[in-house]
Amino acid sequence: MQSYRDFDNGIIPAWCPGCGNFGILEAFKKALFELNIEPHEIILVSGIGQSSKLPHYLKCNGFNGLHGRSLPVATGISVANHKQKVIIFGGDGDTYGEGGNHLLHAFRRNPNITLFVHNNGVYGLTKGQASPTTEFGRHTKAQPFGALSEPLNPLALAIAMDCSFVARSFSGNLEHLKNIMKMAIMHEGFALVDILQICVSFNKVNNFEWYKNRVYEFKAEYDLTDKLRAFEKSQEFGDRIPLGVFYSKPRSTFERNIPVIKENTLVSLQNFPDIESLIC
Amino acid sequence: MECTIRICGEAGQGIQTTGEGFARLFSSLGYNVYSFQDYESRIRGGHNFYQVSFSTEEIYAPRKYIDLIITFDKKGLEYKNLLREGGIVVYDADSLKHYESDKRFINCPFREILKGEGLKNIFENVVSFALVSNIFSIDRKYVYKVIRDIFSDKSEDIIEQNIKVIDIGYNFDIKKKIDLPSVSNNSKILLDGVKGIGIGAIGSGCKFYSAYPMTPSTGVFQYIGANAEKFNIVVEQAEDEISAINMALGASFAGVRAMTGTSGGGFALMNEALSLAGMTETPIVILLSQRPGPATGFPTRTEQGELLYAINAGHGEFARVVFAPGDPLECALLTNKAFDIAEKYQVPAIILTDQHLVDSLYSYERDLKIELKNHDYRLRSVEFENYPNYKRHKFLDFTKNIPLCPLAVPGDSRQLVFTDSDEHDEDGHITEDGEVRKKQLERRYFWKIENIRKEISPPIIYGDKNSKIVLVGFGSNLGILKEIVNNKRLSICAIHYCEIFPPPLRENSEEALNILFNAYKTICIENNASGQFQRFLESEYNFKFSSNIRKFDGRPFNYDEVLEGIYAII
């Protein structure tokens, strides 16, 4: 490939003009290009939501499945062919709402999957309802008394569950996002990158200005395997919002823990075995 | 000659081990054997039984009447009303704190015998096994062999201790003797539905099985798990059934044959992904092992209450197959056919079974051969690389032998594989175009249904085709159908459906339909309340059954009650 633009597949994204998704797509293509990864070497998995359309807009293998179910699909893919890079794109509703149970168990399994969450704090595709990361009290058409649940802190949750790579970036800082993406893709194990994203159509509160006044890049001054310090850092959210790698801890992956695929991929083992020994 | 033994007691008293012991013993001696299990949804206590029938004739179905009861609880004594003439009850009056003076009751002080040898009560099932084997005058070397087989995964110490208990049982001076007719010495093998499905799946190259435990589907999950290392299979216990089926779909998309299994409640959770399999044309085999619903229902009992559900589950319109095997051999063969159709036509395939079939043992000749049909329909490595202009969801191309674009292994070529749960174009990308959708349905629905139907075998006919009484059933009632046909008093023809949906072509079913149209009494038998199978056949073939026999108490049909039911109808 000559340029990251060679990932373009000619499909025009169905996103709103000015959407944060454009930045995320561009950063991702650049990250792949700089890592020298070819389109056929990746399998992108997504659920439903504006973010989940991303795999349609670049050259790649892909499975765009059901709302909230990208993690189990990706886990099945990664076990069947652990030589492929398996990457998920999802939104805050897809990942932290509908797919919450799968996220908890992905932390436990530690599959070699990279999960990018476009976290815009709102349901865009269904036009403006509260998401699991919307702040308490926000009024919407579906939350006439304001959002009555506290927002989820995905980084704190991931660190508490020993997720092997936990980071945050921002759709408005492409250089930072690209670098975090590269680290996450190269990390062996389950990597969660929460990407703060603006929604120009439905999130009038957390707009570009709002984020610009709050986000700052940090490089952890603590050992990245220090869970308590990482957890402490994950609590910082408000007037100041840190962007960077919060936690990174090498753990044996789900794929490595399965003896059957120690040496070969499962897909290379596909055969029709003789069953005579079972008939007894 | 046939004989039925019922072993009764609480959960945790070794009822299942003893029952399986008898099934193994009599099949090893060359008898035909059939057994089924009746148990409660609890780990300890309650009341369970395991019933083993053995015969010099063919036997495939539960019996209502019993020849020998072994009971470790008081409740078991109540079955005396079901004893056949000459039948006996073996029990321990001391431990049940109850003595029966009726001379059909034989008091065997299991616990006292064990105590005398310094052994714990836990061995009472093994001592009873020996004692009853001695009633039948069976050479104890056969009993040793059964113990060694059943405890093959246990330490030599444990096996030796159990062998010692067998000797203790044999040394007890039992007054009662029952003579058995001799049979050829060809020992038989035993298969249950679990093993049948498991063998079929493994032999069909299933490489990924994910599930969430749910009775009565867990047996297959664990059977495949026990063979996972030997056959290079990945098994994973998912966090829920939604995850289980989505994982299996992911594995299938990536290029391996994949399966999941559950019961009704779990299948309900899988419905959205069943529809996803239809939309993305991702092959998958789903075991739906039925138990009585609705909701949690009767967790450990049996019913055929999800036939129409399996046929109709999932939102939207897409092609699928539903097979309901009738015995362990059909379980293996139809699981194999389910994989083959799923892969060939890129559709979900459902294996419909039930507690009765998965938990029942059937004997087969030792030289049983299970012939499976396997063909890899996927494009792999070089074949994929050389495939011209690959499009995952290409419109039907009738210039090709098979007009369907083959599945390809993503990553095996620089060509890309993309699929979507949204309506999509030929490349798998989102579309809003109505004409494209129509072309997709032409393949995804119409072409698939039409062509799969051609592969569906007609129902199987048993007995006299000119009989004026015809009994029609499906799935696990096969054993009942076969035995009713074998009865010596009435001429009855039976028709068994196992490849249910899509139904076989009318022109392939002429023989069965003619038998039905010419009969005087047409009886539809099924294990549910609403007559789902009857309604399905009636609407499919524009025909009315004259009568039906239904059972919905959570128990399987037994031979005697069905024969009584037929007499009541005629």
Instruction: Set out the domains of chain A in order of their start, with CATH numbers.
Output: 4-278 (3.40.50.970)
pLDDT of residue B174: 87
- Is B96 at the interface with chain A, CB within 8 A? no
**Residues of B with CB below 8 A from A54's CB?**
none
Query: Strand pairing partners for B237?
Result: B211
At which residue do the structure tokens 């805050």 appear?
A92
- Residues of B numbered 134-173 whose beta carbons fall under 8 angstroms of chain A's beta carbons: which are they? none
Residue of A nearest to B241 (CA): A72
Within the 14-73 window of chain A, which residues sit less than 8 Å (CB to CB) from chain B? 14, 38-41, 43, 45, 48, 53, 55-56, 59-66, 69, 71-73
Whether B233 has its CB under 8 Å from any CB of chain A: the answer is yes
Q: Quick check: B374 and A272 CB within 8 A?
A: yes
Residue indicated by tokens 């952890």: A220
Q: Tokens 């070794």, residue?
A: B14
Chain B (180-209) residues lying within 8 Å, Cβ to Cβ, of chain A: 189, 191, 195, 198-199, 202-205, 207-208
A232-261 confidence digits (pLDDT tens): 999 999 999 999 999 999 999 999 999 999
Sign, CA dihedral A256-A260-A262-A267, equals negative
Q: Distance, in angstroms, between A239 CA and closest chain B CA? A: 37
Q: What is the pLDDT of residue B175?
A: 85
A 92-131 residues inside an 8 A Cβ radius of B: 101-102, 104-105
Q: Which residues of A touch B209 (CB under 8 A)?
A: none
Sign of torsion, CA B128 B131 B133 B139? positive
**Chain A nearest C-alpha distance from B385 (Å):** 11
Task: Chain B: give the shortest CA distance to residue A87, in Å.
Answer: 13
Fill in the amino acid letter for B179: D
Residue with tokens 């001076």: B173
Q: Which fold has domain B460-569?
A: Rossmann fold (3.40.50)
CB contacts of A261 in chain B (<8 Å) are 234
Cα gap B260→B237, rounded to integer Å? 10
**Cβ <8 Å between A266 and B420:** no
The beta-carbon neighbor of A69 closest among B207, B273, B374 is: B273
Which of chain B's residues have a Cβ under 8 Å away from the Cβ of A83?
411
Q: Where along chain B do the CATH 3.40.50.970 domains lie? A: 191-365
Side chain identity, residue A171: S
Residues of chain B with pLDDT under 70: none
> What is d(CA B173, CA B197) in angstroms, rounded to the nearest whole number?
44
Contacts of B418 in chain A (CB under 8 A): 55-56, 60-64
Predicted confidence band of residue A198 (pLDDT cuts 50, 70, 90):
very high
Collect contacts of B107-113 with beta carbons under 8 A, ≥24 apart: B108/B172, B108/B174, B113/B168, B113/B169, B113/B172
Please give the ipTM for the structure prediction: 0.98
Whether the Cβ atoms of residue B166 and residue B8 lie closer than 8 Å to each other: no
The CA-based dihedral angle spanning residues B92, B93, B99, B100, taken in that order and rounded to the nearest 10 degrees? 0
Q: Are B35 and B87 in contact (CB under 8 A)?
A: no
In chain B, list all ranges with CATH 3.40.50.11610: 460-569
CB-based burial label for B287 (10 Å; 0-12, 13-18, 19+): buried
Stated as kind and residue range, the H or E segment containing A222 is none
From edge to edge, which strands make up the β-sheet containing B206-211?
B234-237, B206-211, B257-262, B284-290, B348-354, B321-323, B499-501
Query: Is 3.40.50.1820 the CATH number for B2-186?
Result: no
CB spacing of A267 vs B415 below 8 angstroms: no
Interchain proximity B205–A272, CB inside 8 Å: yes
Give me the residues of B, 495-524, that contact A with CB < 8 A: none
> Tell me, what amino acid is at A204?
K
Decide if domain B191-365 falls under CATH 3.40.50.970.
yes
For an interface test with A, the pick among B241, B336, B416, B432 (most A C-beta atoms closer than 10 Å) comes out as: B416
β strands within B394-439, DSSP E = 418-420
Whether A271 and B254 lie within 8 Å, measured CB to CB: no
**CATH 3.40.920.10 domain position(s) in chain B:** 2-186
Distance from CA of A267 to the nearest CA of B (A): 5
Q: How many CB pairs under 8 A join A and B?
A: 190
Residues in A touching B415 (Cβ below 8 Å):
40
- Please state, in angstroms and rounded to a whole number, the distance separating the CA atoms of residues B249 and A45: 12
Q: Is B215 on the interface with A (CB under 8 A)?
A: no
Residue A186: band (very low, low, confident or very high) from pLDDT cuts 50, 70, 90: very high
For residue B15, give the 3-state DSSP assignment: helix
